[in-house]
Structure 1
């Protein structure tokens, strides 16, 4: 894996960001293979996304069909893959040196590596409508003042919880501190309720706990320093693992969670949606996947931010998360960017009405009607710091080690100290 300069592998913060405002210029070149305009002015391009669950499963093809109906000279060849399958296939494709014309990205170190390899189109000069989007939605895709992807969703990770199951356990309000959270886990278990649903097999949902605990114990500056020094062996990171082990030792997860997927039948989302667990730590897409994989909890579903940790320096207003965007391969036809403009600007209301996405267009937050998503949107607006998913913020090998090591801690195979050392070793080797 190619090494990325630490200064460019930085963690992201809300402050000091400005929206782009540049003249609309000629977009990406279209003379490369794949997506090349055919005879008679017809254009075909590939579009890879992760819309395998509702609402995207139905909505994305609907938007694509509307675009091609209005532009009969354009054909879009769509490939929709489940999250992990997508990442595996894109990694293999990246290694071959050629990406799809339009592809899903979460930004951060993974996109940075693709940019450094010369595989991704610089959209800055063609992206004149970037000024219509919120700065926070753009930042994961910006490096060195240039923009390399178009966002369509942005949000944060937090706890989605079943109000009815909380009431059954005698819990009257969501926990504000980690100590209160652990006590609520004990109350839920005592009431015969599985406290937490977790997709142990897929690993990435587990890394949310360690990342948030590191933020709450050590604070964002410590994370930024670790990203630069490539050293995660500090006391704050070890303590994050120790706090996670406190939770794991309570055995809070559903039976056979280590073999459970996220959106699969009987997996994390279905367990939550079917009322078989009281909580899941998940992003803004959580409710829609719960509904797709299980059932709609409706008014019984609530949301609360990740608790603070007693003695920690991190603030509850520092949030962890990210969104979804689409990047273009180097040489993709200009019509691909036209499609993204249609997808984001002309269909923002549809995206929000589906209750699966949060706004990236300025002023569109007023269109969010779901109570839980309103809490997420409000938390994001009030955020004093923002941390991108660790498995995306870092180059792929480092992000994978975070996922793997935290999964090993949850499975009882690694100590908090071993997790910190393993991530440090991966960072220094990157």
Structure 2
């Protein structure tokens, strides 16, 4: 399996900045629903009546709305093609949902793929038409092949906070160090305010803070850590991972996380912020619009959270996620043409701008796609382009030799709920994590 070239990916992260800097200068698309900037008729290939099923990760409301809008606009513009939305509306994780669909012979035709290495190795994904590569600045090459059309650039996560609550608590500036951040948490707690809201009911939300600390103490120092863990050369009980998870756990132990985190879903975090039940959320810019839609008067601030060494590291390297055609569906020429047509439509200038505006997303296309950016998003773009910022991926974002066992991510995030709640010590959890990783690696080799 091929390894990604981290230096090349970092170069892309820097290269997208000029296009992003122009975001605040562009007006919104004039017809969001109709997709007026869609691919011209000359590019359309599928002419016969055809339908295909489409699945995407529906956990984030802004992303869901963006995809729903794109499907509706595409169906309207192409009456001979019907996209059937078969996305997950259950409590199962997206990976579990796809596995279940596969097991019952209902794997979707066209899918937002997040575990590309896993499904490519299983022969479930078709290579995308080579000419679609020309749409993008850079595409991930998994096993040396082009499987995914990147929906958006990797968006950095940081502290989204209520400026008014900061002022009321006597907090006059954003932290320059992690120690200052903990002081802010202490001041808010002393005022009877929950410093942080965590949507722990959705186990994938637990991964936000987990990955922040893993990046700071593990991956920014050794981007090949996963590959070494696969070979048994490193351990979760080593100093780096253990420190990362102790720093993560400290936020819960000190009472800096809103107490109902285990019953709070990701989509409820906005409500807790706008009703002043918590002052901060660690998440990404896709939350900005949701918060301001819920309360247009909300004084929203954003900053990247420094590590304990004072450095800022972000999960901003391009990853393997994106739109994919499944192998069986791609064997049908009409379906293949229709799915290609949807990709061209989705990334056409005005349609793509509408999606990006909804999610406060980073464009992946070569064509300069811009949209109106609010002040917090401009802060995001500034920190991404800062030459002192470190760039990495989340633990599950790597591929090639650094691919994490597919089921480990959800298992690990679920276990974090136990040690964050005091049911396990970090040391016990790290030993269990080594055992689980080893078990899953052995199962893959059978």
Aligned-CA RMSD value: 3.1
Question: Residues 253, 353 of structure 1: CA spacing in aligned structure 2 closer, same or farther, 3 A cutoff?
Answer: same
For 1:134, the equivalent position in structure 2 comes to: 137
State the TM-score, normalized to the length of structure 1. Answer: 0.80
For 2:76, the equivalent position in structure 1 comes to: 69
Report how far residue 120 of structure 1 moved.
0.8
Within the candidate set 415, 420, 425, 1:415 is matched to 425
For 1:261, the equivalent position in structure 2 comes to: 265
* Equivalent pair of 1:13/1:385 in contact (CA under 8 Å): no
* Equivalent pair of 1:164/1:300 in contact (CA under 8 Å): yes
Q: 2-side partners of 1:91 and 1:49: how far apart?
A: 13
For 1:339, the equivalent position in structure 2 comes to: 342
Q: 1-side partners of 2:172 and 2:186: how far apart?
A: 14
Q: 1-side partners of 2:90 and 2:136: how far apart?
A: 25
State the TM-score, normalized to the length of structure 2. Answer: 0.77
Q: 2-side partners of 1:273 and 1:326: how far apart?
A: 33
Report how far residue 118 of structure 1 moved.
0.3
Q: 1-side partners of 2:416 and 2:339: how far apart?
A: 38
Structure 1 range deviating more: 239-248 or 54-63: 54-63
Within the candidate set 239, 245, 250, 2:243 is matched to 239
Q: 2-side partners of 1:177 and 1:83: how far apart?
A: 40
For 1:94, the equivalent position in structure 2 comes to: 102
- Count of paired positions: 390
Report how far residue 218 of structure 1 moved.
3.7
Q: 2-side partners of 1:368 and 1:13: how far apart?
A: 29
Q: 1-side partners of 2:295 and 2:54: how far apart?
A: 30
Within the candidate set 402, 405, 418, 2:415 is matched to 405
Structure 2: gaps (5+ residues): 16-44, 330-334, 399-403, 442-446
* Equivalent pair of 1:103/1:326 in contact (CA under 8 Å): yes
* Equivalent pair of 2:197/2:278 in contact (CA under 8 Å): yes
Higher relative contact order (CA 8 A, sep 6+): 2
Q: 2-side partners of 1:297 and 1:178: how far apart?
A: 30
Q: 1-side partners of 2:305 and 2:145: how far apart?
A: 32
Report how far residue 425 of structure 1 moved.
2.1
Q: 2-side partners of 1:301 and 1:145: how far apart?
A: 42
Q: 1-side partners of 2:297 and 2:367: how far apart?
A: 26
Q: 2-side partners of 1:226 and 1:65: how far apart?
A: 40
Q: 1-side partners of 2:360 and 2:10: how far apart?
A: 27
Q: 1-side partners of 2:5 and 2:376: how far apart?
A: 31
